[in-house]
Amino acid sequence: MSDSLFDKLKNLSLYPMHMPGHKRNSDLLGNFLPYGIDITEITGFDDLHRASGVIDDIQRRLAAFYGAKKSFLLVNGSTCGIMAAVVALCSFGDKIIAARNCHRSVYKAIELYNLSPDWVTPPLDTQTGIFTSVSAEGVEKAIEHTPDAKAVIITTPTYEGVVSDTQKIAKVCEKCGIPLICDTAHGAHFPLFYGKSAVGDISVTSLHKTLPCLTQVACLNIFSDKVNTERIAETLQMFETSSPSYVLMASGDRCMRLLEKEGKELAQRHTDRLEHFYKAAESLKHLHIKNSENCDKSRIVICCENTDISGKELFDRLRREHGIECEMASMRYAVALTSICDSDEGLLRLENALAAIDKDLHKAQCTPLPEIIAPKVYKTAYQAQKCEKLLVSLDESIGKVCGEYVWAYPPGVPVIAPGEVITADIVQNILEMRRAKLNVISRDKEKLLILK
């Protein structure tokens, strides 16, 4: 008989360079059995969807931490917050401006409400395959093209820690009277390290990704009087469970209290760790660590584009040879996620592991990747999902209209969505991701679903 899930969790021994941000650090956070505190909405324990007591106190703490006018605690992750924000601002059949590298939850919200997207595709670093920042100029151009859009949505920071200038983008949106939604799922820790989070009318943040919180705990923050708070509360009830976990909410409360008491000290300690790590990484001869001003330093992006190893192979070697489980792998890099709950030993372990792997590597020629161009939209995703479909080979699919989403997960950014025209470059991208042994999500490994 195979091990139970509980047994597998109990016996897990790999060092976590991945979510959640609490890093299983019981020395810092303590240890307790959740069964003893797992309740429902009983007398004296408030109601998440009509918070006025102890849960509302957590939301006030969140608002103070992020500098928001109003914060909603979420227990269905950022996904439910993003979908609620989009639906609150848009009506069925409206237009929306969205960054092409948005998370799949944005695509699903667009599909659900039959929205017509005008995609803003940030430039691609063609050496590593990492999307760079969304520019204010790119958003302004999209607004000129689609002035009747009901919202703009971007992701900052991205899965690779790339940050966009949301202050400039927000000014463009404000001038044009279009609300800005920032998917800051990966930036929950920003107020600690950078003194601020992304600005806009709404931001949605996953506390669990980079702060000491249990998985699924997130928040939706409102910064603008232009957002109807009551409407947000209504749409959250569409996408969030009516039986929220008090264990999860309690971890959000504990997280906020810890940050209020020790946040600055913990952040400074981790900043010192990271500075030591980045300094040591300068001695790597083949691998290199992405390190630029517009990147979050706590998200360590290990690039291997000029070596004879792929990102997935690097990911696997770190796990197999050094007992380090990273957050994700792409074709030319791997991502190690760190947080204030990491230990000195953990960062040193990664440092030594990379140095050991680096010694075995050799230089290799790096062929630049093609720029990403948003596919032509033939039908909205909503319309495409209503059509009859059939599976065809990848070669046969070129020029046809796609009937499914295809993405590598993580990060969950679709290569193509239903209703979009499949090109030879898209097919080539899918093939390369599969050759690199990435976790490509689609209906069939050898075929694509197209509209009849």
Tens of pLDDT, residue by residue over 124-148, are: 999 999 999 999 999 999 999 999 9
383 CB burial (10 A radius; 0-12, 13-18, 19+)? middle
How much is the pLDDT for 26?
A: 84
Overall residue count recorded for the chain in this entry: 452
Tell me: pLDDT of 227 over 70. yes
Contact 77, 85 (CB under 8 A): no
Tell me: pLDDT of 58 over 80. yes
Domain 381-451 has CATH 3.90.105.10: yes
How far, in Å, CA of 85 to CA of 401, rounded? 29
How much is the pLDDT for 199?
A: 77
Angle of CA points 85, 87, 93, to nearest 5°? 140
How much is the pLDDT for 410?
A: 86
How far, in Å, CA of 441 to CA of 409, rounded? 7
Query: Which whole number is the average pLDDT over 231-244?
Result: 97
CB neighbourhood size of 432 (10 A): 13
How much is the pLDDT for 70?
A: 97
Topology adopted by domain 264-360? Aspartate Aminotransferase, domain 1 (3.90.1150)
How much is the pLDDT for 274?
A: 98
How much is the pLDDT for 317?
A: 98
Tell me: pLDDT of 12 over 90. no
Q: From the CA atom positions of the chain, what is the Rg in Å?
A: 22
Tell me: pLDDT of 417 over 80. yes
How far, in Å, CA of 45 to CA of 51, rounded? 10
Least confident of 24-33, 131-140, 256-265, 318-327: 24-33
Of the two residues 227 and 3, the one the predictor is more confident about is: 227
| Whether pTM exceeds 0.85 | yes
**Residue ranges per domain, the chain?**
26-257, 264-360, 381-451
Q: For the chain, give the percent of residues with pLDDT over 70.
A: 99
Query: Which whole number is the average pLDDT over 322-336?
Result: 97
How much is the pLDDT for 9?
A: 73
Q: How far is CA 13 from CA 45, 299, 325, 343, in A?
A: 36, 22, 10, 15
| Residue range 189-206, pLDDT digits in tens | 999 999 877 779 999 999
Of the CA atoms within 13 Å of residue 108, those in its CB half-sphere come to 14
| Residue range 100-126, pLDDT digits in tens | 999 999 999 999 999 999 999 999 999
How much is the pLDDT for 5?
A: 63
Q: For the chain, give the percent of residues with pLDDT over 90.
A: 86
User: Can you name the residues that pair with 41 across neighbouring β-strands?
Assistant: none
CATH number listed for the domain at residues 26-257: 3.40.640.10
